[in-house]
Amino acid sequence: MANDIGTTLLNSLTNSTFDSGNMAKVLAEANVAGPRAILDKKEEKTNTELGALTYLETNIQAFNSYLVDLSSPDIFNSRSVTSSDESVVSVQATGQAVSGAYQIESKQLAQANTIVSNKTYTSASDTISTGTLSISVGGQTKDIVIDASNNTLEGLQAIVNNGDYGVNAAIVNNGGQYQIMFTSKNTGAASTISLSGLADFDVDGMTTTSEARDAVMSINGLNVANSTNDFSNVIDGLSIQLNSVSSMVQSVGVTSDSQKIVDTVSNFVDVYNQLDTILADLGSYRSLSAEEQESADFDYFGDLSGSSLLRDLKGQLRDALSGAIPQLTDPNTLASVGISFDRDGKMALDSALLNSVATNNLESLSLIFAKGGSSTDPLINVIGGNEETLAGNYAIDITQVAERATVSGGAVAYAANEFRANGDRVFDPNAALTVDAGAGLQVSINGAANVAVNLTAGTYATKEDVATQMQTDINTALAGSTVSVVYDSSQARYELTTADGTLDLSSLVGMENQGFSNNATYTGNPLIDLATAATLDVSIDGSTAVTATIGAGKYTLDELSNNLQNTINGLTEVASSGAGVSVSTAGGVLAITSDRYGFASDVTLSNFSGFGNAGLTANLTDTGLNVDGTITTASGSLSLGAYADSEDGRKIKISDFAAIGAEPAEVRGLEFEVLGGVTGARGDINFSQGFASRLEETIQRLFEDDNGLVKNRIESLSEKSTDYEEKRDKLDLRYDKLLLKYQLDFGALQTLLSSTQRTSDFLTATFSNNNNNN
């Protein structure tokens, strides 16, 4: 009996098929399976919500890109420009352009001056005379020393083209005969070239092959000239480009681009409705069909169902579009411009009403959507604000209006008995060559009786020939007094000068071609004699000081004023720094004023030489002033002077960190300009936050601010996701440790089984032997 039991026990041990490795894995997995299932469920829920919110954030930011345009006043300043023939006249407009219709005739294109040497040479390396070549362009004269090192055509060409002389030089091979040609770098009547100082050019002379001409157009009947074909400073906000000459009048229209604005608002409605659909899908409880489940369009469908955050988000977006803009009168709601909401929360657009508002009340439409403002004072222009600027009405008090730097000379000294009368600008250079039959005028010298002058009719080769014949006709009629007549190409006009006293022209007939209106009166002006070239050192608005030169000659006060202004503004050091001046003659003195306003405005003139008769002798300097005053909010008053623009002292931009007392100022980020007027109370600035701007700030508050509802939730979920990953790593480590433990335990068991097997084998053999012996 005992033998049978032992046999049974040993068979049980030796026949064991126990898999210790697999059993170790099963036991280790069973230990962590519960916590891992809970973790998987939490992680899936977190990642689902995080993915949905990230998807939502992406779409909200795309929606916000539409709001950026709509919340800026710039889109509402768009202008539409049409030209009946852009090959003749093309026009561009900025937001400052006033709507209107213009009739433009392109009469003449701007042209550079080109002169060619009359002397010819056998090769480009031929020598030229030596000396100092003076090149004058637009009243500026610069010298080149020609000596043995450079006295060839090629040498002169290289020096001119490598320097700043206002001209380009080119050697022309004309059938084996070489000539040198000079062309002014700039176009315009003032770009006439004059050379002197070299015998080759002084003796043989130069031939004009291209006359310096201004571009000329008439706009609504008014003739206007410009040194280039781009008339960008004739009408504020318009850049008019002459492309060709035509006798046909071109119609140019400038209107508010209401269609662009309507399209922008319509797109906003469409995009808002797309966003509303996305929000509805995210929060839907509806079950998806099999086909929908396979579509990527439904990847996040229902992932935020029941989310209080989604409800809050939709509520805040809707609140931003509700109610009225309190700073505005009607229209001041979305409904008043054609936007309403249906029962499902979708926007509906009344296009007819929107078009009507865009056409008839564009400023109000701008304020309904954009962040911006207006002023009760027409000389205070509100430029804008930013996210720091709060809506409200703010009182303005000005204690200092911005000023430009201005210096004035003393009384001028006129030359005795020398007077000059000039015609109006000649706008048709070809017509100026023809003196009509019956043309004539009355001339009075020094108050004497008028003398009738009949001009010799005909068509002349040059305008200078016309001037010569006119001079002969006048002096023949006067028989005693002398009048000189010249055509001033830089001014594009005829000028009459006498040294015999005052000069008066009247009863002009048939001289329109020469720039003299019928039956007009032209009175001569006294002349200022600059006996030698006059110089002064100039620094404008901090530009590097440089010497300016006015050529010797006799000038009227207006002529000298224009020449001085053009000379200073033409200086490279002044122009490259963005500076400029205007020169006026109020009170019979020369006054030089910077184009800039404020502390950055500075005029410094020194080292005058030869300007005594012009009243400019002692050094002159002046600095402008910034606008100053206060702006008053509900919290108190804020001084404006500290926020004046460094480049334009008329502008104020209040810092984003401005404070009244210990509190942030309501007007942080507000930008406006005071364009003149008086000191004292100047009314109110009304700043409003339109619906697009409200939405933009709501989105920023939800998604970008440190305490933003959505931003915080995304960050919290991201932290949870990271935490879950760490917990998963810990569970994996626990599993590895348990697996190792069970493997060791079962290894020991296997060792025990192996030992048991040997014992079993021994016992089996023993029992077998005993049985055999029995």
3-class DSSP state for residue 290? helix
| The pLDDT value given to residue 505 | 96
pLDDT at 283 over 90: no
pLDDT at 406 over 90: yes
Ranges 242-251, 369-378, 477-486, 700-709: which has the least confidence: 700-709
Same domain, 128 and 88: no
What is the percent of the chain with per-residue pLDDT over 70, rounded to a whole number?
Answer: 95
DSSP secondary structure, 624-650, as one string: -B--EEEEEETTEEEESGGGB-SS-TT
CA distances from 168 to 115, 135, 394 (A): 11, 11, 57
134 belongs to a structural domain:
yes
Q: What's 283's DSSP letter?
A: T
CA distances from 259 to 26, 75, 262 (A): 73, 11, 5
Q: Are 133 and 198 in contact (CB under 8 A)?
A: yes
Strand partners, 537: 547, 606
pLDDT at 2 over 80: no
Tokens of 2: 């005992």
How far, in Å, CA of 370 to CA of 299, rounded? 35
Among 526, 556, 588, residue at a domain's last position: 526
Q: How many CA atoms lie within 13 A of 725 on its CB side?
A: 7
**Average pLDDT value over all residues in the chain:** 88
Q: What are phi and psi of 720, to 5 degrees?
A: -60, -45
Most confident of 75-89, 194-208, 667-681, 721-735: 667-681
How far, in Å, CA of 501 to CA of 447, rounded? 8
Q: Are 228 and 110 in contact (CB under 8 A)?
A: yes
603 belongs to a structural domain:
yes
Arithmetic mean of pLDDT, 210-228: 90
| The pLDDT value given to residue 17 | 55
| The pLDDT value given to residue 770 | 66
| pLDDT, tens only, 126-153 | 999 999 999 988 767 889 999 999 999 9
289 belongs to a structural domain:
no
Range of the domain at 676: 372-396+627-689
Q: Are 682 and 400 in contact (CB under 8 A)?
A: no
Same domain, 176 and 233: no
| pLDDT, tens only, 51-67 | 888 888 888 888 888 78
Same domain, 445 and 501: yes
Among 623, 655, 675, residue at a domain's last position: 623
Task: Decide which of 109 and 690 is more confident.
Answer: 109
Domain count, the chain: 6
Confidence category of residue 772, pLDDT binned at 50, 70, 90: low
Strand partners, 709: none
677: left (phi > 0), else alpha (psi -120 to 50), else beta?
Answer: left
Show Cβ contacts of residue 364 under 8 Å, excluding neighbours closer than 6 positions: 328, 331, 332, 357
Same domain, 162 and 227: no
pLDDT at 660 over 90: yes
The number of residues in the chain equals 774
Q: Are 241 and 98 in contact (CB under 8 A)?
A: no
Same domain, 667 and 734: no
How far, in Å, CA of 770 to CA of 774, rounded? 6
755 belongs to a structural domain:
yes
Tokens of 598: 């404020």
Arithmetic mean of pLDDT, 738-743: 81
pTM confidence score: 0.71
Among 526, 552, 569, residue at a domain's last position: 526
Neighbours of 117 (CB within 10 A): 23
571 belongs to a structural domain:
yes
| pLDDT, tens only, 548-601 | 988 888 999 999 998 899 889 988 899 899 999 999 999 999 999 999 999 999
Same domain, 495 and 517: yes
pLDDT at 457 over 60: yes
What is the percent of the chain with per-residue pLDDT over 90, rounded to a whole number?
Answer: 53
pLDDT at 12 over 60: no
595 belongs to a structural domain:
yes
| pLDDT, tens only, 514-545 | 999 999 999 999 999 999 989 999 999 999 99
| The pLDDT value given to residue 512 | 94
How far, in Å, CA of 395 to CA of 629, rounded? 11
Same domain, 659 and 742: no
145 belongs to a structural domain:
yes
Ranges 69-83, 149-163, 372-386, 739-753: which has the least confidence: 739-753
Q: What's 324's DSSP letter?
A: -
Task: Decide which of 450 and 345 is more confident.
Answer: 450
CATH number where 608 lies = 2.60.40
Strand partners, 406: 593
Arithmetic mean of pLDDT, 166-171: 95
How far, in Å, CA of 196 to CA of 182, rounded? 13
| The pLDDT value given to residue 8 | 42
240 belongs to a structural domain:
yes
Candidates 269, 274, 271; CA nearest to 354 is 269
Same domain, 536 and 602: yes
Candidates 699, 697, 690; CA nearest to 76 is 690
Q: Which residues of 558-595 are buried (b: 16+ CB within 10 A; e: fewer)?
A: ebbbbbbbbbbbbbebbeeeebbbebeeeeebbbbbbe
Confidence category of residue 650, pLDDT binned at 50, 70, 90: very high
| pLDDT, tens only, 232-257 | 878 888 899 999 999 899 999 988 88
In 283-392, which residue ranges form alpha helices assigned H by DSSP? 290-293, 308-320, 351-360, 362-369
Show Cβ contacts of residue 602 under 8 Å, excluding neighbours closer than 6 positions: 405, 539, 540, 541, 542, 594, 621, 622, 623, 624
Same domain, 578 and 655: no
Same domain, 437 and 520: yes
Same domain, 425 and 521: yes
Q: Are 517 and 509 in contact (CB under 8 A)?
A: no
Same domain, 221 and 206: no
CA distances from 421 to 494, 559, 564 (A): 9, 11, 20
Q: What are phi and psi of 358, to 5 degrees?
A: -65, -35
Confidence category of residue 401, pLDDT binned at 50, 70, 90: very high
pLDDT at 372 over 90: no
